[in-house]
Amino acid sequence: DQQVKQNSPSLSVQEGRISILNCDYTNSMFDYFLWYKKYPAEGPTFLISISSIKDKNEDGRFTVFLNKSAKHLSLHIVPSQPGDSAVYFCAASGGTGNQFYFGTGTSLTVIP
Amino acid sequence: DTAVSQTPKYLVTQMGNDKSIKCEQNLGHDTMYWYKQDSKKFLKIMFSYNNKELIINETVPNRFSPKSPDKAHLNLHINSLELGDSAVYFCASSQVNYYNEQFFGPGTRLTVL
């Protein structure tokens, strides 16, 4: 039972344009969300997070939006750069402990 | 200076064998994890240890046994390996506080033949 879903396995974007990666979740107890970036043959690295008390968090070119009523979050990358090409995982946590549930990832390709 | 390291990076073995994967973190974190990423790219938690104590144990066959000799190390031992165990295994660590991201190791790609 997958509680965090990333329905787009891949996305291609031209350099300089906006990349929008989407994530949906089913558990209304989730109150903390993170995005991780993963390059081939490396582990995921933390990118940006948001707690449920906010609907937006921005860090440089990266912005995460949270729509609690729709149980949806998105990661915007503006402007996209070729170095952003990687797999992006959405993760969510809530309730007890610090157990995170991950989506299956979206592979982003930024075309120069 | 590697924060979370895993050895080996690649592991190829026959069905029925027993193997171990080691993980070490030098971040001073309280909590360590093992994740499995299967062929569908689904990253799923297996175990979590906090200060050498098991706090999360998802539905994992008991052929998998984590061992934490100290809070900087969390090893994963797998008995009687099966074809379905082929996956990439990631170790991670974090501070115990709830709103802290996890730091991942580079992964160990296990192939069972």
Q: What is the pLDDT of residues A8-43, one digit of tens each?
A: 999 999 999 999 999 999 999 898 999 999 998 899
Probe site for chain B from A2, A87, A100 (most B CB atoms < 10 A): A100
Pairing status of strand B108-112 against strand B10-13:
parallel
Confidence (pLDDT) at A98: 63
Once rounded to an integer, what is the mean pLDDT over residues A76-82? 97
Task: Indicate the pLDDT class of residue B55, thresholds 50, 70 and 90.
Answer: confident
Task: Indicate the pLDDT class of residue A58, thresholds 50, 70 and 90.
Answer: very high
Cβ atoms of residues B48 and B54 within 8 Å: yes
Residues 20 through 59 of chain A touching chain B, CB cutoff 8 Å: 32, 34, 36, 41-46, 49, 51
Pairing status of strand B4-7 against strand B19-25:
antiparallel
**Residue range B72-81, pLDDT digits in tens:** 999 999 999 9
Amino acid present at A22: N
**Residue range B7-39, pLDDT digits in tens:** 999 999 999 999 999 999 999 998 899 999 988
**Would you put residue A15 in left (φ > 0), alpha (ψ -120 to 50) or beta?**
beta
Cβ atoms of residues A111 and B52 within 8 Å: no
A chain contacts of residue B93, beta-carbon cutoff 8 Å: none
Q: In angstroms, rounded to a whole number, what is the distance separating the alpha carbons of residues A93 and A95?
A: 7
Q: In angstroms, rounded to a whole number, what is the distance separating the alpha carbons of residues A112 and A9?
A: 21
Confidence (pLDDT) at B41: 78
Tokens of B27: 């971040």
- Please indicate whether, in this complex, the C-beta atoms of A49 and B99 are within 8 angstroms of each other: yes
Confidence (pLDDT) at B57: 74
* pLDDT score of A6 more than 60: yes
Tokens of A3: 């509680």
